[in-house]
Amino acid sequence: MTWLSALKETARTGLTVERKRLEPLVAARGAAGLALVIGLSLTLFGPAVAASSAFGAFQAAIATFQRSWRPRPELALASGTSLAVSTFLGYLTGSHLLLFLALLSLWTFLSGLSWAAGPTVGIIASSNVAIMLVTVTLPTSVAEAAGHAAMMIVGGCVQAALVVLFPVRRWGAHRDALADALAAEADYARRLRHDPVAPFDPEPLMAARDAARITPRQARSRPAELRGSRGVAERIRPVLASLADPAVGVPDEGRERDRVREILAAAGTVLDAAARAIRHGEPVRVAPAALAALKTPDTGAILTGPAHRASARLAALLRDVLETAGGARTEEARLTGGPADPLLRPTFPALVPSGLRAMRAALRHESPIARHAIRVTAVAAAGYLLGTWLPFGHGYWAPMAAVMVLRPDFSQTYSRAVARFGGTLVGVALATGLVQLAHPGTALSAAVAVVCAGLMYLLMRTGQVAAQACVSAYVVFLLGMGGQQWTQTVPERVILTLLGGVLAMIAYALYPAWETPRLRTRLADWLIEDGRYAAAVVDHYADPGGGESPDVREALLAARDARVAWQEASDRAKNEPVRHRGLSRATAADAEECLAQLGRVAMLMEAHLPDRDATPVPAAARLADALRKATEQGAKAVRERRVPEWDAVRTALAEWDGEGVPDRVVRRGAGLLLEALEDLSEALDTTPPPMLVDGTSARTGPDGRPEDPKDPKDPPPTGPGADRS
């Protein structure tokens, strides 16, 4: 993508206002907390302290809106406290330019590194640094600075207390995550009726698992319907795929296929009903026809072998989903101890060491997080110096805008820069017009500022431009409450915001962290994890008892993480103004399809894992070892821009043909694994074929030698790259 195209795309993204589900009660609660803090501060201490405390309460409420599965009061307290510490230390050094620059650089660098601990921590840290640049200018003495910091902590405490006292849809985010996972599987079941090899995005299941990791305090109050459905939902997906896939299930057409379509439709209805019940905390209501379709005794007479086995497993899993969604504990859950042994998330104090370890691990020059930290530190210092030297006053707007705009990736940085400037223009224009019409005093300015903050809380998920317009108006009225006229804040705010955004964009262009050159590494990581997952599944056929076999579940989760990392990197690379370096978009798309197929075949085999007393398949152990080693070597070849080879897997599979295979799923699945790997090599082989005398391209066979184009016995090319010349 050229620079012009990239700038157009990021500008369009930044100025887009999306339709999102609004949460007016949550927005009203945040605005009410802000109003309480401002009113208390105005009454007891005056406008200056009220402005500082308002910033603390404002930022604490924003923290509770971040995407996090932690209790919201913890986020509000952490945000208010960290802003108070930043403001107090900033004021102590504010009278010495070099000392303040050193503190600002340190604070900004740490906030940039904090993205390694997660986006929620990174957003809160960056926002605190940006707001600190404003709040350090409000006190006039050390005692006042301490008082301002204390009121910021009070603001965080007020927001935390309101979350506790007036919970709005408690456990709502966790309910939505689990319901979204079940709804995604319901949609998957319906799509499988028409496309037996339909793809499935595992992200809803990953989000549900992330939401299931709770703190010990949350574990004591978690609703019963959130304690078992996710684990059952994880096992439903491979069963659905294996029931529909003709490779291991039933033929494409006929009586058996009609029965499978009926079961899949009923499964979609049941999963939708469970999702609806969990989302709203209501009893499960399922259409009787769907339950009758699952319970009909004709299934055993129509389906046989793996298909019948999959249908029986699906019916049992759907019963468990209905029971857990209704708040009951299934017998399986009681035996496995799932609800009583939740996935525990570390407490806030225990999170600090892990966050520090992540930040230390990111201290590498090639790390995007480290480059972001260096970039944002340089821009904040340069913006502060320029804002101080320029004759506008309020020079902190430039570094504040730069810190809020910069993100670790290109698309977000440039789209936020456009959105921030556009939103600032709209917000200050509206606020200025209202000020000139109404000439509000202190109380009215405070009230309008609270309204603007409430609108920001309400609209912040619809896009950056809407949120920035509300924030700009909020700041105008808040500073006007302290006695500053709009003529003292609006013109310099617009100019310095533009300056900060331009500095951020220039900084990323000069010191980028492009994702495009790392696509091969991401693809290689995904190949390794997919290979380990497939090997773990195949290993269980060799040792059904699972004595020394690797854990299939852990391998699956690692493969999912690698797939999501690849998809995120691929999405970021699409909008980067960088030419591809050895991995074009077409090649990347073909390779992604092949690795998705590899993981899908492994999932089909997982759906039919043998019982502990099943007959072992010794050849499966050799194939698993070959898969593990070959994919590691193949990943190395991908990183080195070579075409991976699969001779070891091919040899192991040929040896398997001489042994008895008790289940057709095993051998058929093993063959599909090799096909997916060979398709990957074909997708990555971008070497042009040799030219014939007549100027046409020669086809090459599996051995790499040119084929005779006149030979009618040559089979047509197949695979993801078959349509490429």
Identify the CATH number of the domain in which residue 600 sits.
1.20.58.220
- Of the candidates 243, 202, 234, the one whose C-alpha atom is nearest the C-alpha of residue 608 is 243
More confidently predicted of 582 and 37:
37
- Of the candidates 200, 193, 285, 289, the one whose C-alpha atom is nearest the C-alpha of residue 236 is 200
690: alpha, beta or left? (left if phi > 0; alpha if psi -120 to 50): beta
**With bands split at pLDDT 50, 70 and 90, how would you rate the model's confidence at 337?**
very low
Q: Is 168 exposed, middle or buried (0-12, 13-18, 19+ CB in 10 A)?
A: middle
| Judgement on whether residues 491 and 529 belong to the same structural domain of the protein | no
Contacts for 39 with CB less than 8 Å, ≥ 6 apart: 446
Q: What is the pLDDT of residue 647?
A: 92
Half-sphere exposure (CA, 13 Å, Cβ side) for 256? 19
More confidently predicted of 593 and 331:
593
Please name the amino acid found at residue 601: V
- Of the candidates 570, 578, 565, 592, the one whose C-alpha atom is nearest the C-alpha of residue 721 is 592
| Judgement on whether residues 405 and 327 belong to the same structural domain of the protein | no
Judge whether 51 and 138 are in contact, CB under 8 Å.
yes
More confidently predicted of 139 and 408:
408
Q: What is the pLDDT of residue 33?
A: 92
Judge whether 606 and 237 are in contact, CB under 8 Å.
no
DSSP 8-state assignment for residue 543? -
Helices (H), 362-459: 368-389, 397-405, 410-438, 442-459
Of 331, 357, 391, at which residue does a domain stop? Answer: 331
Q: What is the pLDDT of residue 661?
A: 54
DSSP state letters, 576-592: SS---SS--HHHHHHHH
Helix (H, G, I), strand (E, B) or coil at 572: helix
Q: Is position 699 within any domain?
A: no
pTM above 0.85, yes or no: no
Q: How far is CA 184 from CA 204, 588, 717, in A?
A: 7, 26, 35
Buried-exposed string 306-332: b where 16+ CB fall within 10 A, e elsewhere = bbbbbbebbbebbbbbbbbbbbebbeb
| Judgement on whether residues 177 and 160 belong to the same structural domain of the protein | no
Supply 337's token pair: 């101890």
Q: Is position 432 within any domain?
A: yes
User: Could you give the CA distance from residue 108 to residue 129 in angstroms, rounded to a whole number?
Assistant: 7
* Vertex 408: Cα angle to 404 and 412 (nearest 5): 65
Q: What is the pLDDT of residue 664?
A: 64
Supply 687's token pair: 């070497």
Q: How far apart are the first and last CA of the chain?
A: 23
* Vertex 465: Cα angle to 459 and 469 (nearest 5): 75
| Judgement on whether residues 185 and 90 belong to the same structural domain of the protein | no
The rounded percent of the chain whose pLDDT value lies above 90 is 27
Q: Is position 711 within any domain?
A: no
Chain segment 194-248, per-residue pLDDT in tens: 998 888 888 898 888 888 887 777 777 888 778 777 788 888 988 898 888 887 7
User: Could you give the CA distance from residue 406 to residue 112 in angstroms, rounded to a whole number?
Assistant: 9
Helices (H), 460-543: 464-481, 486-510, 519-542
Helix (H, G, I), strand (E, B) or coil at 446: helix
| Judgement on whether residues 680 and 573 belong to the same structural domain of the protein | yes
| Judgement on whether residues 625 and 562 belong to the same structural domain of the protein | yes
User: Could you give the CA distance from residue 115 to residue 125 in angstroms, rounded to a whole number?
Assistant: 9
- Of the candidates 194, 185, 155, the one whose C-alpha atom is nearest the C-alpha of residue 64 is 155
Q: Of the ranges 99-103, 420-424, 546-550, which one carries the lowest mean pLDDT score? A: 546-550
Measured torsion, CA atoms of residues 89, 379, 57, 456, in degrees rounded to the nearest 10:
170
| Judgement on whether residues 602 and 484 belong to the same structural domain of the protein | no
| Judgement on whether residues 391 and 481 belong to the same structural domain of the protein | yes
More confidently predicted of 113 and 702:
113
**With bands split at pLDDT 50, 70 and 90, how would you rate the model's confidence at 342?**
low
DSSP 8-state assignment for residue 641? T
Q: What is the pLDDT of residue 366?
A: 83
| Structural domain harbouring 62 | 24-168+365-510
- Of the candidates 483, 478, 465, 393, the one whose C-alpha atom is nearest the C-alpha of residue 427 is 465
Measured torsion, CA atoms of residues 119, 121, 126, 128, in degrees rounded to the nearest 10:
150
User: Could you give the CA distance from residue 238 to residue 600 in angstroms, rounded to a whole number?
Assistant: 8
Of 479, 510, 541, at which residue does a domain stop? Answer: 510
Question: Is the C-alpha dihedral spanning 265, 268, 272, 273 positive or negative?
Answer: positive
In the block, which residue shows the tokens 């298909």? 307
Chain segment 46-85, per-residue pLDDT in tens: 888 888 888 888 888 888 887 777 767 888 888 888 888 8
Helix (H, G, I), strand (E, B) or coil at 706: strand
Task: Round the CA-based radius of gyration of the chain to a whole number and report it.
Answer: 30
Q: Is position 406 within any domain?
A: yes
DSSP 8-state assignment for residue 360? H
Q: Is position 694 within any domain?
A: no
| Judgement on whether residues 311 and 439 belong to the same structural domain of the protein | no
| Judgement on whether residues 661 and 532 belong to the same structural domain of the protein | yes
More confidently predicted of 547 and 544:
544
User: Could you give the CA distance from residue 222 to residue 225 in angstroms, rounded to a whole number?
Assistant: 8
Number of residues that this document lists for the chain: 725
Q: Is position 719 within any domain?
A: no
Give mean pLDDT, residues 26-40.
91
Judge whether 608 and 665 are in contact, CB under 8 Å.
yes
User: Could you give the CA distance from residue 177 to residue 183 in angstroms, rounded to a whole number?
Assistant: 10
**With bands split at pLDDT 50, 70 and 90, how would you rate the model's confidence at 581?**
low
Judge whether 416 and 376 are in contact, CB under 8 Å.
no
DSSP 8-state assignment for residue 472? H
Give mean pLDDT, residues 91-112.
89
Q: What is the pLDDT of residue 714?
A: 41
| Judgement on whether residues 147 and 206 belong to the same structural domain of the protein | no
Give mean pLDDT, residues 293-312.
76
Q: Is position 714 within any domain?
A: no
Q: Is the pLDDT of residue 635 over 90?
A: yes
Q: Is 64 exposed, middle or buried (0-12, 13-18, 19+ CB in 10 A)?
A: buried
Chain segment 130-150, per-residue pLDDT in tens: 888 888 887 778 888 888 889
Contacts for 647 with CB less than 8 Å, ≥ 6 apart: 630
Of 286, 314, 331, at which residue does a domain stop? Answer: 331
Q: Is position 202 within any domain?
A: yes
Q: Is the pLDDT of residue 682 over 70?
A: yes
| Judgement on whether residues 327 and 385 belong to the same structural domain of the protein | no
Q: Is 650 exposed, middle or buried (0-12, 13-18, 19+ CB in 10 A)?
A: middle
Judge whether 163 and 29 are in contact, CB under 8 Å.
yes
User: Could you give the CA distance from residue 402 to residue 372 in angstroms, rounded to a whole number?
Assistant: 12
Judge whether 528 and 562 are in contact, CB under 8 Å.
yes
The helix, strand and coil proportions of the chain, stated in percent and rounded to the nearest 5, come to: 70, 0, 30
Judge whether 226 and 326 are in contact, CB under 8 Å.
no
Q: Is the pLDDT of residue 719 over 50?
A: no
The gap from C-alpha 535 to its chain's centroid, in whole angstroms, comes to 27
Q: Is the pLDDT of residue 378 over 90?
A: yes
Q: What is the pLDDT of residue 488?
A: 55
Q: Is the pLDDT of residue 333 over 60?
A: no
- Of the candidates 192, 203, 320, the one whose C-alpha atom is nearest the C-alpha of residue 264 is 192
Q: Is the pLDDT of residue 255 over 70?
A: yes
- Of the candidates 265, 292, 261, the one whose C-alpha atom is nearest the C-alpha of residue 196 is 261
Q: Is the pLDDT of residue 476 over 50?
A: yes
Q: Is 707 exposed, middle or buried (0-12, 13-18, 19+ CB in 10 A)?
A: middle
Q: What is the pLDDT of residue 209?
A: 87
The rounded percent of the chain whose pLDDT value lies above 70 is 87
Give mean pLDDT, residues 10-27.
87
Provide the domain count of the chain: 3
